[in-house]
Amino acid sequence: MDFALDARTVELQENLLDFMDEHVYPAEAVFAEQLAQLENRWAWEQAPVVGQLRDEARRRGLWNLFLPGAEGAGLSNLQYTALAEISGRSGNLAPAAMNCAAPDTGNMEVLHMFGTEQQKAQWLQPLLDGQIRSAFAMTEPDVASSDATNIETSIVRDGGDYVINGRKWWITGAMNPNAKVFIVMGKTDPGAERHRQQSMVLVPRDAPGLEVIRGMHVLGYDDHEHGGHAELSFTNVRVPAANLISGEGEGFAIAQARLGPGRIHHCMRAIGVAERAISMMCQRAEERMAFGKPLAEQGVIRDWIAESRVRIEQLRLLVQKTAWLMDTVGNRGAHTEIQAIKIATPSTVQWILDKAIQVHGAAGLSQDLELAAMYAVNRTLRFADGPDEVHKNALAKAELRRQNKPSQR
Amino acid sequence: MDFALDARTVELQENLLDFMDEHVYPAEAVFAEQLAQLENRWAWEQAPVVGQLRDEARRRGLWNLFLPGAEGAGLSNLQYTALAEISGRSGNLAPAAMNCAAPDTGNMEVLHMFGTEQQKAQWLQPLLDGQIRSAFAMTEPDVASSDATNIETSIVRDGGDYVINGRKWWITGAMNPNAKVFIVMGKTDPGAERHRQQSMVLVPRDAPGLEVIRGMHVLGYDDHEHGGHAELSFTNVRVPAANLISGEGEGFAIAQARLGPGRIHHCMRAIGVAERAISMMCQRAEERMAFGKPLAEQGVIRDWIAESRVRIEQLRLLVQKTAWLMDTVGNRGAHTEIQAIKIATPSTVQWILDKAIQVHGAAGLSQDLELAAMYAVNRTLRFADGPDEVHKNALAKAELRRQNKPSQR
Amino acid sequence: MDFALDARTVELQENLLDFMDEHVYPAEAVFAEQLAQLENRWAWEQAPVVGQLRDEARRRGLWNLFLPGAEGAGLSNLQYTALAEISGRSGNLAPAAMNCAAPDTGNMEVLHMFGTEQQKAQWLQPLLDGQIRSAFAMTEPDVASSDATNIETSIVRDGGDYVINGRKWWITGAMNPNAKVFIVMGKTDPGAERHRQQSMVLVPRDAPGLEVIRGMHVLGYDDHEHGGHAELSFTNVRVPAANLISGEGEGFAIAQARLGPGRIHHCMRAIGVAERAISMMCQRAEERMAFGKPLAEQGVIRDWIAESRVRIEQLRLLVQKTAWLMDTVGNRGAHTEIQAIKIATPSTVQWILDKAIQVHGAAGLSQDLELAAMYAVNRTLRFADGPDEVHKNALAKAELRRQNKPSQR
Amino acid sequence: MDFALDARTVELQENLLDFMDEHVYPAEAVFAEQLAQLENRWAWEQAPVVGQLRDEARRRGLWNLFLPGAEGAGLSNLQYTALAEISGRSGNLAPAAMNCAAPDTGNMEVLHMFGTEQQKAQWLQPLLDGQIRSAFAMTEPDVASSDATNIETSIVRDGGDYVINGRKWWITGAMNPNAKVFIVMGKTDPGAERHRQQSMVLVPRDAPGLEVIRGMHVLGYDDHEHGGHAELSFTNVRVPAANLISGEGEGFAIAQARLGPGRIHHCMRAIGVAERAISMMCQRAEERMAFGKPLAEQGVIRDWIAESRVRIEQLRLLVQKTAWLMDTVGNRGAHTEIQAIKIATPSTVQWILDKAIQVHGAAGLSQDLELAAMYAVNRTLRFADGPDEVHKNALAKAELRRQNKPSQR
């Protein structure tokens, strides 16, 4: 065992930390102002500072770091986590600047792993170049989508086309007019075996019959600064059969393959969020006077700070170990750990954010600080690809199975 | 001891429950639509349904119930709590319809108790008639306002006037253009004994030098449906000396007198919020299927429902006992209990709302349900007139004193 | 609603508080010493101080207060709770001194309600006089006894006798040689309808075939100071048919009838335990210096004290309301509330005891203070007549039913 | 970073796991029986099975693994933790069998690092050989011993001797008559700088004036199976000056040096305890039927199992990282992490044990299972070398300092 990061990762971290200090943090206020002046509130990429940050990230070699293998930066999951965390400290800007923002990363991975040459040329390359963006349309309003067999959207072969009908919501990023393509999950064969009913197709934003109905809110936020969460309706939407990803019946398997890295990224960025919150909490505690002494001298505040540190240190190690397992034994071998970080991260970070808000008084809930928005984003993670309770249930079943095997040690 | 409500309260409850079922709940969606079409988003009273509800409430004798004594409905605090709770189930509409919404109730009480005849004629009567609204300007951005001695706004006597300078924020209701008068807390004598430095004056909205800067947000919400939370600046604002309430140096005492009933009202409405959340949670659990059975048959969901019921029952009793103490031994005698409900209520209700949201999936965080907005409002209560931690500290000091008296039993 | 205790209860409280101060608390150390010198460690009643306290309690009219109606003190459940709580502050001595200790109270109630004249003469009278003690033999080692239909002990009619076979454990009080009679739950008709299979019979301690195997420990304690918790085995134990209580098939109904008052008593005594713990915590906090100041000035300690006070106040009110419901609408009408206090009490008191121990340092876990033993006793309440989880599940089912009725308000 | 254990550790783990399966677990019941028959209940080493296990451990090369460097097994802290955890699963027997039990390990480390040749020959060698045992006498009854400057025991130079006066308690292992030597902390110079007042001396058990007063209980346990926790009194106890360890004024520094490894060991063994509890919980959940299905199918039970797994995985990684830091940057460099594991471990393990007990019903609290005793031992860790609150306070201070440095990244 060795808990030290390798030299390349440390170097990239230094590079990224400089980028954060010199470019990203100073850009936060600028971005907010520019956003407020956009004609289309969802077209966040049109804020000039975004392009400037992207140029700088590219110049520094901080571009597409998420993508493993030769086409990407060649980083392992473990190496990438150390960078994803730092980018999470400024979650609206840094990942986007580095072309490492959800849901595009997951979508690019899907195309990278399963796309045809044509699909790669048409969609993957512009995504890797940061020219367009994408969305992943899986969740549906009327069913518990954590159980993929509940999906009701239909994808029906009709001659050389697929015809799509259904309704989706919480499709992150899809309000951004530059999200030019959606990966849509639906059923091609409702009569097949449970996990062979689903397929995924690529649907261009401008396909007739595809309607972007509205942006969903999270607490009071519409999250326009990263493209919101759209409700979509598909009415006889027709795409060429060549837009099918991988093959009919492969939808569930693709979704599973997409999950592992996606969760690692989310979790590490969430830890970055928590670190920023702890930092803000400590600074506020030092500055704010109440009843004749700084908050930093109040025992209860100190208790929160200590608990925050102790919890986040444990959590980070588990996420890192999970990344390492994915690197060494594969996503399937890391299944339980991937569930574990999905369970542990949002609730731990929520606890820390709640305390950080409390230390800031009402300002902590307001638009003057990022804490409330961070809280809202993190709260959604307790639902993202299945509520906590579904993951706990599954993890417990696995544990029970393992513990009750005869030869268990 | 007797845990049964008296006949008059039960009758008013029935009346109010009918009002809720027949008028208030059906008006919620209407109000939302009408709000969206207002020219001034803060002028919520201009939504026609508000006036209709007020007329109906008046017709039913559900008007100004909060005000004790002959001028009001003559209800005790205990009697009123049973009604406040029910009104809290539709917190944006019912209290407003009944002219029982914060911060006006507290302000009317102040004028009722401490106002001159002229002040009553000019401000109290229109408030009681629902013609105007008001705000209470105490909290300041730069200091821990839970300690009233920190207040920095100055109120200086100059001839027949007082001249006010300072900055306030989180002034609830003040974005509403019909909030015609603000009760402003400031210091008339910074050299006086700690609790004799403060005074309160009535400041008309249109007083020169008073600027309404912006509305503060709470977790993404600007709360325009009840007048928002304004940031205000006072620059040489001049009011006649007759606008002083009670006397110079009385500010702290007035604030204290205002606190007790205010907290009871907030707490009971919050319990109403929790009851609505429990109700929504139970209905959703019954309807929503996951993994082949309704959520209502999942053990973890049942655990939440049971905990919610058990916690809210305990909490309600404590609030009711506090109201009874205020009725029987006065606000001062109920001091510890008033602190206790201020500590217990927001965190209990937050726990229940978090679970109710979780049962609803992402919809629970969205604009489609009221749960997220309820969560945001309730979260602010953990700061309202001092963060939880200040109240806990004070309550513990009192407990330590009591327990360490020689003759303690 | 009225939160004031009636005059008779207040008078009895004063009487009891005097008794506690003058007799019970001073007797605690004496009892410990006398216990250590007993030949039979389970024969706690032979400690002379017990008899002295009983005499004094009788003299003061503090005897058998638990028993309602004319045969007892005529107190309502609500009136009695106020006294049970105080007795709980010295849980090993005060209830025993007042002949109000479990499990005898429940057993006397059973005989009072369901016993024949002969049974009353033979067993109830000596119990009411404090001459003998009793036990209630329901829980079995091999089955989840919270579900009474699981009971495996058989009670078979054979001529004029019943013949009992089975095994019981956690039979509180039964190690005391003066526990002369056991109420034994078993099945007379395993083929009957679920809740008509069970019956109860009175079994004298010296019945052939009844073996007292051993005392069960609770977190290291054998609880000999109140008769321990026995494991019993019944091998062809034969009792006259006249020892049947009420009738065949009535066992479940009798158990239900016994439960309500039993839970109220347990809960109120547990609140007394918590009050003593809070008191000890406050005194220790005042006296103990660490890092240059008393613990009482540490914010975290104050937080615990405040939380303890706020939680216990809520809990007490719920128990009192439950008692009032039992008095006004009967045990069945109070069913949900009885479950609620069973759920809320042990966990709340456990939290407080844990903090009280923590404030005392390692001494809090030792034999020098009562806190650790109080913790152990309270911990068992989370299992007593069914684990918390069973009660939560049942309460949630009832809530779901109520909330999903069409006409629910 | 690399999360794989090295080959030597894996090999030792396999060896140890075999030892546990073949020898230790089967010996548990034997040990309990033999203990019950000892004439001196504290002389646990006289149970024959202890000697047999020691012989086997020695034969397998599982002896003195804790001791770093050439004199010991040459394992790093990180390597040793993987073994300590496994030994913790049978905490009364395995560490003792391997001569790796507290407090002897810490005492041997002290002698190893700071002892003179004579001290090593006289005390260290027999300890390493398992011939005698030792105790560490630091905690005092009247002062908050987490602050070493509070120590009141005096060590006064008198000619060629030191004379010791004072009172100690909670001296673990000291009731065992074979604990032949005590390392005693006291003050040689109360006037010196705060951390230079203390010294440590070696005091033989049979030194005149040293009285072993009694064994302290933990909850209801006296922990005789590992030598209990003694209260000691020193009255003019005289030892040769050569018994001083290191030098006058070095007491605090020695205590600090002893702490790091001690805490790692405690924490890893506690994780072993938690693993055994999880294992028991899973097996019981599978076997126990309630309401027609095994507990393993109850959602709430699964929630506990999942939470247990998720928490313990995080905790283990933090302890391992701390060990790695001690190996790479030394105990001082690992200061914050050592505090962190001291904070996190006992509370996490307590939570898991509480749930494991709950799953077992009342049996979980009884003498029939080890869970209750495990709970008691673990509860003391929340006080061992300072209560949680002291460590949290210190860790928060360090975090605040770090976060508020100008150049902090």
Question: Residues 6 or more apart from A277 whose CB is under 8 A from it?
Answer: A308, A349, A352, A353, A356, A371, A374
Q: Do C219 and D372 touch (CB under 8 A)?
A: yes
Same domain for A216 and A274? no
Same domain for C155 and C102? no
Mean pLDDT of A120-126: 97
Q: Do C367 and D216 touch (CB under 8 A)?
A: yes
Whether the CB of A247 is below 8 Å from some CB of chain B: the reply is no
Token pair for residue B111? 């004028």
Domain contains B1: no
Question: What pLDDT does residue D308 have?
Answer: 98
pLDDT, one tens digit per residue, over B383-399 is 988 899 999 999 999 99
pLDDT, one tens digit per residue, over B91-127 is 999 999 999 999 999 999 999 999 999 999 999 999 9
User: Among all residues of chain B, which has the CA nearest to that of C77?
Assistant: B1
User: Among all residues of chain A, which has the CA nearest to that of D396?
Assistant: A306
Domain that holds residue A106: 7-128
pLDDT, one tens digit per residue, over C370-393 is 999 999 999 999 998 889 999 999
The total domain count for chain D is: 3
Single out the residue in C128, C160, C184 at which a domain terminates. C128
User: Among all residues of chain B, which has the CA nearest to that of A378?
Assistant: B365
Q: Which residues does residue D229 pair with via DSSP β-bridges, in sequence order?
A: D172
The CATH number of whichever domain residue D64 belongs to comes to 1.10.540.10
Which of the four pLDDT bands, split at 50, 70 and 90, describes residue B234? very high
pTM of the model: 0.97
The CATH number of whichever domain residue C284 belongs to comes to 1.20.140.10
Q: Do A365 and B218 touch (CB under 8 A)?
A: yes
Residues of C in contact with B391 (CB under 8 A): 306
Q: Which residues does residue C155 pair with via DSSP β-bridges, in sequence order?
A: C164
- Average per-residue pLDDT for chain A: 95
- Rounded to the nearest angstrom, the gap between the alpha carbon of residue A330 and the centroid of all alpha carbons in its chain is 20
Per-residue confidence of chain D (409 residues) as pLDDT tens digits? 999 999 999 999 999 999 999 999 999 999 999 999 999 999 999 999 999 999 999 999 999 999 987 778 899 999 999 999 999 999 999 999 999 999 999 999 999 999 999 999 999 999 999 999 999 999 999 888 777 788 999 999 999 999 999 999 999 999 999 999 999 999 999 999 999 999 999 999 999 999 999 999 999 999 999 999 999 999 999 999 999 999 999 999 999 999 888 899 999 999 999 999 999 999 999 999 888 899 999 999 999 999 999 999 999 999 999 999 999 999 889 999 999 999 999 999 999 999 999 999 999 999 999 999 999 999 999 998 889 999 999 999 999 999 998 765 5
Same domain for C284 and C389? yes
Please identify among residues 300-339 of chain B the ones whose CB lies closer than 8 Å to any CB of chain C: 301-303, 305-307, 309-311, 313-315, 317-318, 320-321, 324-325, 328, 336-337
Whether the CB of A390 is below 8 Å from some CB of chain D: the reply is no
Mean pLDDT of C267-282: 98
Same domain for C191 and C319? no
User: Among all residues of chain D, which has the CA nearest to that of C148?
Assistant: D291
Whether the CB of D298 is below 8 Å from some CB of chain B: the reply is yes
Same domain for D220 and D310? no
- Average per-residue pLDDT for chain B: 96
User: Among all residues of chain D, which has the CA nearest to that of A398?
Assistant: D306
Q: Do C315 and B314 touch (CB under 8 A)?
A: yes
Token pair for residue D210? 């040293």
- Asked whether the beta carbons of A154 and A166 are under 8 A apart, the reply is yes
Domain contains A237: yes
Please identify among residues 24-83 of chain D the ones whose CB lies closer than 8 Å to any CB of chain A: 78
Å from A301 to nearest chain C CA?
9
Same domain for C274 and C220? no
Q: Which of C372, C380, C382 sits opposite D219 (nearest CB)?
A: C372
Q: Do C78 and B325 touch (CB under 8 A)?
A: no
Question: What pLDDT does residue A409 have?
Answer: 57
Q: Which of A74-83, C6-15, D91-100, D259-268 has the lowest mean pLDDT?
A: D259-268
Domain contains A277: yes
**Can you list the alpha helix ranges (DSSP code H) found in B152-298?**
251-287
Q: What is the DSSP string of C322-382?
A: HHHHHHHHHHHHTHHHHHHHHHHHHHHHHHHHHHHHHHTGGGGGSTTSSHHHHHHHHHHHT
Same domain for D259 and D391? yes
Question: What pLDDT does residue C146 have?
Answer: 74
Q: Which of B138-142, B180-184, C169-173, C204-208 has the lowest mean pLDDT?
A: B138-142
Residues of C in contact with B393 (CB under 8 A): 299, 302-303, 306
Four-residue CA torsion sign, D188, D193, D194, D195: negative
C-alpha neighbours within 13 Å on the C-beta side of residue C392: 26
Q: Which long-range contacts (C-beta less than 8 Å, at least 24 apart) are formed by C67-70? A: C67/C105, C67/C108, C67/C109, C67/C112, C67/C128, C69/C112
Å from B151 to nearest chain C CA?
24
Residues of D in contact with A408 (CB under 8 A): 279
Token pair for residue C74? 């005529």
> Is it the case that residue C407 has pLDDT exceeding 70?
no
Domain contains A409: no
Q: How far apart are CA A374 and CA B220, in angstroms?
A: 11
Mutate to test the interface with B, among D300, D305, D359 (most CBs of B within 10 A): D300
Same domain for A138 and A123? no
Mutate to test the interface with B, among A170, A172, A379, A388 (most CBs of B within 10 A): A379
Å from C325 to nearest chain B CA?
8
Q: What is the DSSP letter of B227?
A: T
Single out the residue in B110, B128, B146 at which a domain terminates. B128
Token pair for residue B353? 């709302």
Domain contains A2: no
The CATH number of whichever domain residue C240 belongs to comes to 2.40.110.10
Question: What pLDDT does residue B15 have?
Answer: 98
Residues of A in contact with B141 (CB under 8 A): 363
Residues of A in contact with D325 (CB under 8 A): 3
Question: What pLDDT does residue A204 have?
Answer: 98
Å from A203 to nearest chain B CA?
24
pLDDT, one tens digit per residue, over A252-309 is 999 999 988 889 999 999 999 999 999 999 999 999 988 889 999 999 999 999 999 9
> Is it the case that residue B408 has pLDDT exceeding 60?
no
Same domain for B141 and B278? no
The answer to whether ipTM exceeds 0.85 is yes
Domain contains D40: yes
Q: Do D328 and A4 touch (CB under 8 A)?
A: yes
Identify the residue whose tokens are 């399937």. A332
Mean pLDDT of C336-362: 97
Question: What pLDDT does residue C42 have?
Answer: 98
Å from A303 to nearest chain C CA?
7
Question: What pLDDT does residue B409 have?
Answer: 58
Query: Could you tell me which residue, B257 or D57, shows the higher pLDDT?
Result: D57
Å from A204 to nearest chain D CA?
41
Mutate to test the interface with A, among D77, D400, D401, D405 (most CBs of A within 10 A): D400
CB-based burial label for A142 (10 Å; 0-12, 13-18, 19+): exposed
Residues of C in contact with A301 (CB under 8 A): 299
Please identify among residues 109-168 of chain C the ones whose CB lies closer than 8 Å to any CB of chain D: 139, 141, 144, 146-147
Distances in Å between the Cα of B351 and the Cα atoms of B218, B308, B346, B348, B374 are: 18, 8, 9, 5, 12
Same domain for C335 and C314? yes
Mean pLDDT of B76-85: 96
Residues of B in contact with C338 (CB under 8 A): none
Question: What pLDDT does residue B47 have?
Answer: 98
Single out the residue in A223, A248, A273 at which a domain terminates. A248
Residues of D in contact with A318 (CB under 8 A): 310, 313-314, 317
Same domain for D20 and D35? yes
Same domain for A229 and A149? yes
Q: Do C310 and B344 touch (CB under 8 A)?
A: yes
Question: What pLDDT does residue C192 have?
Answer: 96
Residues of B in contact with C340 (CB under 8 A): 309-310, 313
Which of the four pLDDT bands, split at 50, 70 and 90, describes residue A69? confident
Mean pLDDT of A321-345: 95
- Asked whether the beta carbons of C355 and C364 are under 8 A apart, the reply is no
Whether the CB of B298 is below 8 Å from some CB of chain D: the reply is yes
pLDDT, one tens digit per residue, over B36-57 is 999 999 999 999 999 999 999 9
pLDDT, one tens digit per residue, over A222-235 is 999 999 999 999 99
Q: Do A298 and C303 touch (CB under 8 A)?
A: no
> Is it the case that residue B221 has pLDDT exceeding 80?
yes
Chains touching C (at least 3 CB pairs under 8 A) are: A, B, D
Q: Do D376 and C365 touch (CB under 8 A)?
A: yes
- Average per-residue pLDDT for chain C: 95
Whether the CB of C219 is below 8 Å from some CB of chain D: the reply is yes
Q: Which of C131-135, C403-407, D78-82 has the lowest mean pLDDT?
A: C403-407
Question: What pLDDT does residue D409 have?
Answer: 58
Domain contains B277: yes
Q: How far apart are CA B43 and CA B133, in angstroms?
A: 11
Residues of A in contact with B217 (CB under 8 A): 220, 365-367, 372
| Dihedral, C357, C362, C365, C369 alpha carbons, nearest 10 | -80
Q: Do B298 and D299 touch (CB under 8 A)?
A: yes
Domain contains A346: yes
Question: What pLDDT does residue B310 have?
Answer: 98
Q: Do A303 and C298 touch (CB under 8 A)?
A: no
Whether the CB of D393 is below 8 Å from some CB of chain A: the reply is yes
User: Among all residues of chain B, which has the CA nearest to that of C341?
Assistant: B310
